[in-house]
Amino acid sequence: MREPVRITSRENPLLAQLRRLAHEPAGYRKTGQAWLEGDHLLRAALTRGRALTQVVLTEAAWADPSLREIAQRAARIAVVSDALMKPLSTLESPAPIAALLALPAEAPAVLAGVPTVVLDRLQDAGNVGSVLRSAAALGIAQVVALSGTAALWSPKVVRAGMGAHFALHLVEQQREEALDALGVPLIATSSHAPRSLAEAPLPDPCAFVFGHEGRGVAASLLTRCAETRRIPQPGGEESLNVAAAAAICLYEAARQRG
């Protein structure tokens, strides 16, 4: 069994780097590494064959055989006190174990011909993570985030995604023109669309487009869409939360695929 490095100083360079990653949503774009908190995310990453470059855990976590086994699968291991772990987290109660995940050295390219979700300037990290969870659960292969969307690998989005990131091909910071490479019809939702979501077969594969929480899908992007569909709302409400709308659309597409 490998022994960890024990860090006792708040000024340690590794801890300084991790604090920045934890509190700068797009910090991973500079370092090429994402910050994962909690054993659930670490196990999900390892199950999908992702490489953990550095695990940090508390003394109590190191004494736990199940958490120590996770730590042993990382390239490097560091043990810290509870007091030093707390600033590395955005949670009220910090997880006892966290890790750095290596991201691809080159930005992933848009894949053609696969079921896709397009995110147009979604701002809320919780919404983005929830959409990713639905996408992973309902057979979506790829998520393309246009510029202005919350950073996909930010700690808050990763936490909300609950492991969905590792099941999806993620492409971010894209311009609308990049969607031409998808090679599948774009479908948006609108409360004014003449056809409801389940009224007619959906193209398979297709790319569902979900827009900004307040302003919806950009007008220029709507012109690229093959059609819009309406989500029936017999309760009479004006609109659905974007994450809820995404779950409904992706479920209907999965249902039609059988």
164-210 confidence digits (pLDDT tens): 999 999 999 999 999 999 999 999 998 889 999 999 999 999 999 99
Q: In this predicted structure, what is the pLDDT of residue 147? A: 98
- 163-190: b (≥16 Cβ within 10 Å) or e: bbbbbbebbbbbeeebbeebebebbbbe
- The answer regarding whether domain 116-257 maps to CATH 3.40.1280.10 reads yes
- What are 258's two structure tokens? 């059988």
How much of the chain exceeds pLDDT 70, in percent? Answer: 99
Residue ranges, comma separated, of all CATH 3.40.1280.10 domains in the chain are 116-257
208 closest CA partner among 234, 236, 189, 193: 189
Residue ranges, comma separated, of all CATH 3.30.1330.30 domains in the chain are 5-102
* Amino acid identity at 215: R
**Does the pLDDT value for residue 123 go beyond 90?**
yes
H or E stretch covering 35: strand 33-37
16-60 confidence digits (pLDDT tens):
999 999 999 999 999 999 999 999 999 999 999 999 999 999 999
What is the pTM (predicted TM-score) of this model?
Answer: 0.95
Which residues does residue 144 pair with via DSSP β-bridges, in sequence order? 118, 171
> Residue 74's CB: how many other CB atoms inside 10 A?
22
Q: In this predicted structure, what is the pLDDT of residue 237? A: 67
CB 18 within 8 A of CB 36: no
- What are 137's two structure tokens? 């659960």
Output phi, psi for 191, to 5 deg: -70, -15
The domain 5-102 is placed in CATH, from the list 3.30.1330.30, 1.10.3720.10, 3.40.50.720, 3.40.50.1820, at: 3.30.1330.30
Q: In this predicted structure, what is the pLDDT of residue 191? A: 84
* Amino acid identity at 101: L
- What are 119's two structure tokens? 């995110």
